[in-house]
């Protein structure tokens, strides 16, 4: 059976309430669906369940203190916020919700929520009177305005002996709700083709020309498109990444091979997203056996241009897919990307500044500007996965527009 949360990174935040013991079960059930879990606990939560339990279950150290130099140097609160694809606070106490509503950041969990770019989900649990009070309901309204998702509490027997609304939502319903949140349906019925990673151009049987692309951005886009309901094929140069669930992989080495595989399925493709860092040059005549070292201090290789896959696709007569290119630039980012958008006749181009070592090639983070017809939108620095989901939203919207307006 397909795991609905495979490759998802979820930060489980636990606050002080009797339902804190259920966080252990939530952790296990999310893992059953393939999620990777990290946990953070408030000091009140630690009175109800020990960090050791969550550490053992999540197989990761528990984040406990904002001002603990050791934990912060291992993985600080900003890094944790960037690491997560989703933050779930379960159970969320009345006190925590009130602090979240105020935008506080004087403890670790509120600071992580404030720093987060990903979706934040709150599953409240408290005594029924505390839940009903205007103060709590006003706080709930406040956090909902900020697009924080609420998993409303269930009605029933409460640990305090009273009966009413305030019980933590059933664990299996929490897991279902989280799984559904990753599935948007904006690309339902679409065939999406993504290229990712570097290509390798052989010099001889043991050496090659390549680049620093890790494939992370392309794989994240393939996964986000799959979650949006598309049937996704990923043509990938050599990488060390796991293939996202439900994505069809086609492995290639060289630019020539990537072009051949791309052309073989482009006819049935609705959206083509060219994230691959295709080598621009290949060795004209690679040696058939290993080039031996000689007394010579220099070796000359004759290089020729590789095919420009994106250009080939944009020149296709007849059924050309909605085409999205990337522009990896070290200077004049927007100007150069606009030039590629025009010259390659693309629907969209994603301008990526690759001179900043904290983003672009190989980093887990990225920051890009998407350009297209009446579109100039910058996405600030975030994880490549979060960015991929945002890009898929734009691609789905613009692709739909292009169909509506011909």
Binding residues for ligand PMT (CB under 6 A): 213-218, 255, 274-278, 280, 306, 308-310, 325-328, 340, 352, 354, 360-362, 384
The dihedral over CA atoms of 351, 355, 356, 362, expressed in degrees to the nearest 10, equals 80
Minimum CB distance to ligand PMT, residue 329 (Å): 7
Is the bond into 346 cis (omega within 30 degrees of 0)?
no
Centroid of chain to Cα 292: 44
CA-based max dimension of the chain:
89
Q: Is 160 annotated in the active site?
A: yes
Minimum CB distance to ligand PMT, residue 163 (Å): 53
Please identify, using beta-carbon distances, which residue of 158 and 217 lies nearer to ligand PMT: 217
Please identify, using beta-carbon distances, which residue of 22 and 389 lies nearer to ligand PMT: 389
Please identify, using beta-carbon distances, which residue of 166 and 218 lies nearer to ligand PMT: 218
Minimum CB distance to ligand PMT, residue 310 (Å): 4
Distances (CA, A) of 385 to 220, 241, 292: 5, 13, 43
Minimum CB distance to ligand PMT, residue 338 (Å): 12
Length of the chain (residues): 406
What is the C-alpha separation between 373 and 401, in angstroms, rounded? Answer: 11
- DSSP output for 61-107: PPB--TT-HHHHHHH-HHHHHHH-SEEEEEEE-HHHHHHHHTT--SS
- Give the three-state DSSP class for 189: coil
What is the C-alpha separation between 144 and 396, in angstroms, rounded? Answer: 25
The token duo for 144 is: 């909902």
Please identify, using beta-carbon distances, which residue of 4 and 384 lies nearer to ligand PMT: 384
Minimum CB distance to ligand PMT, residue 58 (Å): 26
Please identify, using beta-carbon distances, which residue of 290 and 376 lies nearer to ligand PMT: 376
What is the C-alpha separation between 161 and 364, in angstroms, rounded? Answer: 48
Of the candidates 27, 113, 118, 160, the residue annotated as catalytic is: 160
Please identify, using beta-carbon distances, which residue of 244 and 325 lies nearer to ligand PMT: 325
Minimum CB distance to ligand PMT, residue 107 (Å): 34
Please identify, using beta-carbon distances, which residue of 55 and 330 lies nearer to ligand PMT: 330
Minimum CB distance to ligand PMT, residue 291 (Å): 25
Q: How many other β-carbons are positioned within 10 Å of the β-carbon of residue 205?
A: 12
What is the C-alpha separation between 32 and 27, in angstroms, rounded? Answer: 9
What is the C-alpha separation between 291 and 158, in angstroms, rounded? Answer: 76
Please identify, using beta-carbon distances, which residue of 112 and 220 lies nearer to ligand PMT: 220
Q: Which of 82, 101, 92, 96 is nearest to 11 (CA)?
A: 82
Minimum CB distance to ligand PMT, residue 361 (Å): 5
Distances (CA, A) of 261 to 74, 198, 237, 245, 337: 42, 15, 11, 21, 26
Residue 224 and residue 391 in contact, taking contact as beta carbons nearer than 8 Å: yes
CA atoms within 13 A on the CB side of 119: 20
Catalytic residue positions, numbered: 160
């Amino acid at each position: 059976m397909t795991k609905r949360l495979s490759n998802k990174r979820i930060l489980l935040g636990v606050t002080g309430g009797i339902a804190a013991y259920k966080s252990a079960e939530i952790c296990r059930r999310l893992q059953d669906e393939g999620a990777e879990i990290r946990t953070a606990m408030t000091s009140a939560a630690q009175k109800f369940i020990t960090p050791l339990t969550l550490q053992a279950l999540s197989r990761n150290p528990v984040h406990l203190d904002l001002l603990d130099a050791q934990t912060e140097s291992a993985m600080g609160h900003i890094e944790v916020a960037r690491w997560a694809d989703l933050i779930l606070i379960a159970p969320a106490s009345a006190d925590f919700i009130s602090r979240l509503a105020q935008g506080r950041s004087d403890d670790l969990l509120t600071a992580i929520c404030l720093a987060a770019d990903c979706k934040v989900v709150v599953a409240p649990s408290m005594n029924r009177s505390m839940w009903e009070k205007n103060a709590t309901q006003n706080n709930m309204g406040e956090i909902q305005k900020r697009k924080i998702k609420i998993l409303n509490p269930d009605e029933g027997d409460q640990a305090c002996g009273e009966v009413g609304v305030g019980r933590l939502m059933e664990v299996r319903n929490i897991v279902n709700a989280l799984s559904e949140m990753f599935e948007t349906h904006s690309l339902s019925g679409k065939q999406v083709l993504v290229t990712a990673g570097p290509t390798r151009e052989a010099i001889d049987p043991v050496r090659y020309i390549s680049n620093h692309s890790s494939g992370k951005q392309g794989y994240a886009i393939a996964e986000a498109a799959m979650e949006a309901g598309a049937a996704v094929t990923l043509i990938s140069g050599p990488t060390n990444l796991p293939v996202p669930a439900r994505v069809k992989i086609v492995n290639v080495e060289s630019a020539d091979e990537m072009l051949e595989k791309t052309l073989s399925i482009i006819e049935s493709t609705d959206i083509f997203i060219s994230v691959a860092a295709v080598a621009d040059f290949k060795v004209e005549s690679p040696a058939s056996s290993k080039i031996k070292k000689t007394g010579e201090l220099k070796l000359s290789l004759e290089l020729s241009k590789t095919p420009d896959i994106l250009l080939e696709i944009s020149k296709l007569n007849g059924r050309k897919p909605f085409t999205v290119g990337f522009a990896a630039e070290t200077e004049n980012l927007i100007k150069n990307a606009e030039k590629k958008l025009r010259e390659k006749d693309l629907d969209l181009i994603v301008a990526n500044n690759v001179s900043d070592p904290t983003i672009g090639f190989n980093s887990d983070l990225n920051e890009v500007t998407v350009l297209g017809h009446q579109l100039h939108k910058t996405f600030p620095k975030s994880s490549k996965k979060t960015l991929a989901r945002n890009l898929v939203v734009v691609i789905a919207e613009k692709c739909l527009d292009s169909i509506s307006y011909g």
